[in-house]
Amino acid sequence: MLSFALRRLLSAVPTLFVLVTLTFFLMRAAPGGPFDGERTLPPQVEAALTREYHLDAPLWRQYLDYLGNLAHGDLGPSFQYEGYRVTELIGDALPVSLALGSAALALSLLLGGVIGAVAALRQGRWIDPLLTHITLIGVSIPNYVIAPLLVLLFAVTLGWLPAGGWHHDRPTDMVLPVIALALPQIAYIARLLRNGLIDALATPYLRTARAKGLPLRLLVLRHAWRPAVLPVISHLGPAAAGLLTGSVVVEQVFGIPGLGRYFVQAALNRDYTLVLGAVLLYGTLIVLFNFVVDLLYGALDPRLRTA
């Protein structure tokens, strides 16, 4: 088990390496630079800046320097936010995204789980097709459509909740963003869980258990949930990484100072180090969560342990 975990973690290194390398050279291949602004800088200033950030060194040298700093846990200075390290910027923005993301994750697990279970256990009655169709809407409609509609309904028309912003003393700021983040996930989880439960209940060993008279409630709580949550878990790996690093869309619509907005802003500003830092963080989380997914798979179904 331990050697499996170690091997699995080590195999993540090349993936992250490819990611960093690809992003690094893609960005450098692009036209424009971090100091192209509205007004052109005097040549001496630009030369000084270029030297300051080692942009005058050959590209391979900069790449190796970056990797060297990375090995020391330093993501380098930001090009756009003068005087800030990328680690500081991410450190400031991450808690906001984490708070929203984990609330959304908890909500979607709870509601998605309940809806999925209800639909599966009432299979064939009116409530199952109803829930299945509603969740298909949730899966289909992206949150950049849902988020503005939520604002229009609850903030503009009804005036119940703030339309956006982020204040430490105003917890209602979180309500709409969390709902916007959670809705598609609720729908996904509900659908996966429903199909998983229905498949599980149709297996011979559970049909046998039912036939010998085990009540449905115990059947689900003791046995069927194990195989049924496997697809949910493998969906949750990447989904959780996405939720916790912040959504570009939700942060833009609600004006939230989270991590998501850096992905786009930083790329637009040619803030090389910030883009790399954000992408690297996201990639690391993806790899990490996929690793947790594998461990959970092994814990839930012993047959998958050797894989």
Partner 1 sequence: MGLIVALSLLLAIILFVLLAPLASPYACDEIDFDGPWSSAPTLAHQHWFGTDSLGRDLFVRTACGGRLSLLVGVVSTLVSLLIGVAYGACAGYAGGRVDTLMMRAVDVLYALPFMFLVIVLMVLFGRHLLLLFVAIGAVNWLDMARVVRGQTLVLRRREFIAAARIGGLSDARIIVRHIVPNLVDIVVVYAALTLPQVILIESFLSFLGLGAASTSWGALVDDGAREMMATPWSLLFPALFLGATLLLLNLVAEQLRLRLARGAGTT
Q: Is 85 helix (H, G, I), strand (E, B) or coil?
A: strand
d(CA 125, CA 79): 59
CB of 269 to partner 1, least distance (A): 9
Cα dist from 86 to 59, 63, 70, 174, 265, whole Å: 20, 16, 11, 26, 14
- 282 counts as binding partner 1 under rule CB under 8 A: yes
CB of 120 to partner 1, least distance (A): 17
The token duo for 205 is 């060993």
Piece of the chain touching partner 1 by CB under 8 A; list 14-22, 39-47, 87-95, 172-180: 14-22
- 23 counts as binding partner 1 under rule CB under 8 A: yes
Among 191, 197, 187, residue whose Cα is nearest residue 220: 197
- 239 counts as binding partner 1 under rule CB under 8 A: no
Question: Over the range 10-22, which residues count as b (16 or more CB within 10 Å of their CB) and which as e?
Answer: eebeeebeebbee
Determine the size of the site formed for partner 1 (CB under 8 A): 44
Spatial CB neighbours of 123, under 8 Å, sequence gap ≥ 6 = 198
The residue (of 35 and 209) whose beta carbon lies closer to partner 1 is 35
Q: Which of 142, 208, 218, 305 binds partner 1 (CB under 8 A)?
A: 142
- 299 counts as binding partner 1 under rule CB under 8 A: no
The residue (of 59 and 110) whose beta carbon lies closer to partner 1 is 59
Piece of the chain touching partner 1 by CB under 8 A; list 115-123, 138-146, 195-203, 212-220: 138-146
Q: Which of 33, 81, 128, 148 binds partner 1 (CB under 8 A)?
A: 148
CB of 148 to partner 1, least distance (A): 4
Q: Is 77 helix (H, G, I), strand (E, B) or coil?
A: strand
Q: Which of 195, 290, 298, 300 binds partner 1 (CB under 8 A)?
A: 290
- 130 counts as binding partner 1 under rule CB under 8 A: no
Query: Beta-carbon neighbour count of residue 29 at 10 Å?
Result: 8
Residue 115: is it exposed, middle or buried by C-beta count within 10 angstroms (0-12/13-18/19+)?
Answer: buried
The residue (of 5 and 149) whose beta carbon lies closer to partner 1 is 149
Cα dist from 111 to 122, 149, 179, 187, 224, whole Å: 16, 21, 11, 9, 19
Q: Which of 149, 202, 216, 221 binds partner 1 (CB under 8 A)?
A: 149
d(CA 34, CA 44): 16
d(CA 149, CA 151): 5
Spatial CB neighbours of 208, under 8 Å, sequence gap ≥ 6 = none
Which residues bind to partner 1, rule: CB under 8 A?
12, 14-15, 18-19, 22-23, 26-27, 29-32, 136-137, 139-142, 144-145, 147-149, 151-152, 156-157, 248-249, 252-253, 263-264, 267-268, 275, 278-279, 282-283, 286-287, 290
